[in-house]
């Protein structure tokens, strides 16, 4: 399992958090997605054989939000 933290811009409310959570959790290979408004980020655990951070960022973009940075947890 791999982990990544996506910094997301454009989220302004709990509905946005729910939308991003839903789109990430529906991405094949995602084991868990935890999205918070403050700070505006998503912590995602995923199977690297099924997806990658670029595909996760694309899924967020298709939901109408922007991933401004990706990093490893703890970095």
Taking only the tens place, the pLDDT of each residue in 24-44 is 999 999 999 999 999 999 999
Instruction: Name the percent of the chain lying above pLDDT 90.
Output: 93
Query: pLDDT-based confidence at 74, cuts 50/70/90?
Result: confident
Is 2-71 CATH 3.10.290.10? Answer: no
Query: pLDDT-based confidence at 75, cuts 50/70/90?
Result: low
Residues 6+ apart with CB under 8 A from 72: 3, 4, 5
Cα separation, 35 vs 18, in Å, equals: 8
Is pLDDT above 70 for 18?
A: yes
Which is nearest to 41 in space by CA: 74, 75, 10, 5?
Answer: 5
- How much is the average pLDDT of 51-61? 96
């Amino acid at each position: 399992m791999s982990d990544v933290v996506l910094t997301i811009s454009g989220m302004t409310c709990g509905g946005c958090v729910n939308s991003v959570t839903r789109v990430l959790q529906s991405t094949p290979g995602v084991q868990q997605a935890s999205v918070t408004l403050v700070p505006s980020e998503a912590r995602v655990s995923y199977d690297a054989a099924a997806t990658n951070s670029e595909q996760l960022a694309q899924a967020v973009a298709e939901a109408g939000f922007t991933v401004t940075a990706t990093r490893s947890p703890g970095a």
